[in-house]
Structure 1
């Protein structure tokens, strides 16, 4: 087998050769953007799901789809401890500069750039991570009051009006939204609400971990009416099979049915894991078809690759006590688990562990599907924890 022609693409946000099972949500976003473009109301979309389900890949594909239809897009990923103004200001500048090149929108776009200049000036001291170059002087009194909720809404209005004059949409594609601080998230929701009320063609397509739904509701009570929250989960068996077989078939290579079945069993249909097993099975195999023996041999390599990258990068960010908490969860199985059961496994009082649990939620390692329940945000992390902290002595090590 030619490793150079290996079609599988495990990686952070790397586009897989076959984007299987996501047509319905892609259509949902396409319809929402198209409705706004003709002046019809549409909800913003916030995709939620665990790590490894392909949210980032899907977000980038949707953005490419939108750009191909003439939509003006803004792309940002929210890192921890980065302010929303610092995240949005450079991207909105680029969108307004593009809009200023459309004759019908030029004046409104330049007015929007002056609003952005006032916005940056007002918040540069409060959020000292803002770095954006602006050539225009601020418009006094426009988006410069120093109140993030009101000023961001005013700024979005100016961008939306310019987009409407240009006959297009501006769509914010934002990843890892769960890391936006609550008050700033509230300001973002309020600004999008203002645009929806004014029927302006500015919307957001975002992605984040499952707790994003609760975070949005906590930030603004009307968020559930402003957003759709499609759940992006593992692929159904037929979709997972397509994700494995089609890239190989395109290269003239096949898998035996039991080899495909083994990959689906081991990966549970999670897109990132499918790419890892596909890649290593291809590299191990000597000829087509790829067999169950090949998959068995490749599995140790796939697990090692996941342990050293996908899992380990998250494990290394944890404190010793956080690691023990997750190891206790792993002792109980994949989850979700009751907080009391985790505390019992650790031999601790449940109330004493609440700050630790909250810290892990803020780090994006855990989420709460229901009150009192705790679950991993990373699929198969329980198996990794048992590999990285083996044996009976993990409580005392």
Structure 2
């Protein structure tokens, strides 16, 4: 079949041709944003889930929905090694500049820009990586204490007042939120708590790995009451079928039921894997309908592509000790696994492995669903580890 017409889109955050199975969550966040706009209580949300479930795609689609409804948005990604003030400051500046174009909100927006000037100048001393254009002189005493928790609260409050005056809302979208340091996360939670108390139209929609919920609870004990934490998991079978069938049908191509079921079994319903198998199956098929043989052929190249990209990019960041730890986990299966069982796999002392486990959690490779348990954050990583480190030499 024509490779140019291949409808599937495997990629990091690349929108799929059919965003199946997420309508209910999109609708609930639409309601929250509209409630915020009219001054009604609205919970912010943290989308949590493993790698490859489509959190980034969903975050971006919710943002598109919000912008289409006339809600102001900012969007950042929180990579390792960058401070939250450095990420937020330029985006909040852009939001305030847009709001300053609304006559009714101009005074509040200008005061927000003055707050931003104080915020950036004081916290640059602490964090060093803040780079933001300054449009107005700082107002003494406004967001310029040099204390992140206090200053961010004051700054977000000013942004909320400007949005309220413009009869709109501001939605802040942050991806990979689990990488934000706990003290900075606490400041963000405090700021959102203040906007809720004052009923200001600011909503935070974040996305992160499963450990995000625990990190936020550790940062501020009331975080679980302040936010919803919808779990983003594999697509249910009906939605997974639609994710494959609908794009094919749009191109006038069909797939035999057994071949479709084969894809569902191989991908376990994970959104990213569905796109990979869909794309490689399209390439493998010579004509419609797509058959089981086509899927079997595609599986070889799909697994190879995952090994060289999705899995390998994470594997290459690991130290030898970390690789051995993950290989021991893989020996036990998909998980989760008890720390003692992992240590027993290569006759290690449990306490001696604690730093390795902590490092893997920090890198976003594993998480702890329960005390003493460890699980992969990347689906099917156990199978990859066995392919990459076969045999018993790793022990």
- Sort the TM-score into its range (normalised by shorter chain): over 0.9
Q: Which digits, 9 at most, give the CA deviation of each residue in 1:306-330, with x for residues without a partner?
A: 0010000000000000000000000
Q: Distance in 2 between matches of 1:186 and 1:368?
A: 21
Show structure 1 runs of 5+ residues with no match.
none
Q: Distance in 2 between matches of 1:103 and 1:346?
A: 68
Question: What is residue 371 of structure 1 aligned with on the other side?
Answer: 371
Q: Distance in 1 between matches of 2:288 and 2:392?
A: 43
Question: What is residue 185 of structure 2 aligned with on the other side?
Answer: 185
Q: Distance in 2 between matches of 1:248 and 1:321?
A: 44
Q: For residues 67-146 of structure 1, what are the structure 2 equivalents within 5 Å?
A: 67-146=67-146
Q: Secondary structure at the match of 1:203?
A: strand
Q: Secondary structure at the match of 2:127?
A: coil
**CA-based RMSD:** 0.5
Q: Which digits, 9 at most, give the CA deviation of each residue in 1:142-174, with x for residues without a partner?
A: 000011101100000000000000000001000
Q: Distance in 1 between matches of 2:201 and 2:351?
A: 47
Q: For residues 191-270 of structure 1, what are the structure 2 equivalents within 5 Å?
A: 191-270=191-270
Q: Distance in 1 between matches of 2:127 and 2:346?
A: 40
Q: Secondary structure at the match of 1:45?
A: strand
Q: Secondary structure at the match of 1:74?
A: strand
Displacement of 1:346 after TM fit?
Answer: 1.9
Q: Secondary structure at the match of 2:51?
A: coil
Q: Distance in 2 between matches of 1:23 and 1:70?
A: 20
Displacement of 1:138 after TM fit?
Answer: 0.5
Q: Distance in 2 between matches of 1:341 and 1:23?
A: 40
Q: Distance in 2 between matches of 1:346 and 1:158?
A: 56
Q: Does 1:355 align with 2:355?
A: yes
Q: Distance in 1 between matches of 2:232 and 2:251?
A: 29
Q: Which digits, 9 at most, give the CA deviation of each residue in 1:56-79, with x for residues without a partner?
A: 000000000000001000100000
Question: What is residue 309 of structure 1 aligned with on the other side?
Answer: 309
Displacement of 1:114 after TM fit?
Answer: 0.4
Q: Does 1:6 align with 2:6?
A: yes
Q: For residues 278-293 of structure 1, what are the structure 2 equivalents within 5 Å?
A: 278-293=278-293
Question: What is residue 340 of structure 2 aligned with on the other side?
Answer: 340
Displacement of 1:349 after TM fit?
Answer: 1.1
Displacement of 1:383 after TM fit?
Answer: 0.3
Task: Give aligned pairs, total.
Answer: 395
Q: Does 1:37 align with 2:37?
A: yes
Q: Distance in 1 between matches of 2:251 and 2:259?
A: 17
Q: Secondary structure at the match of 1:125?
A: helix
Q: Distance in 1 between matches of 2:111 and 2:88?
A: 17
Displacement of 1:242 after TM fit?
Answer: 0.4
Q: Secondary structure at the match of 1:75?
A: strand
Displacement of 1:139 after TM fit?
Answer: 0.6
Question: What is residue 320 of structure 1 aligned with on the other side?
Answer: 320
Q: Secondary structure at the match of 1:206?
A: strand
Displacement of 1:125 after TM fit?
Answer: 1.4
Q: Secondary structure at the match of 2:126?
A: coil
Displacement of 1:135 after TM fit?
Answer: 2.1
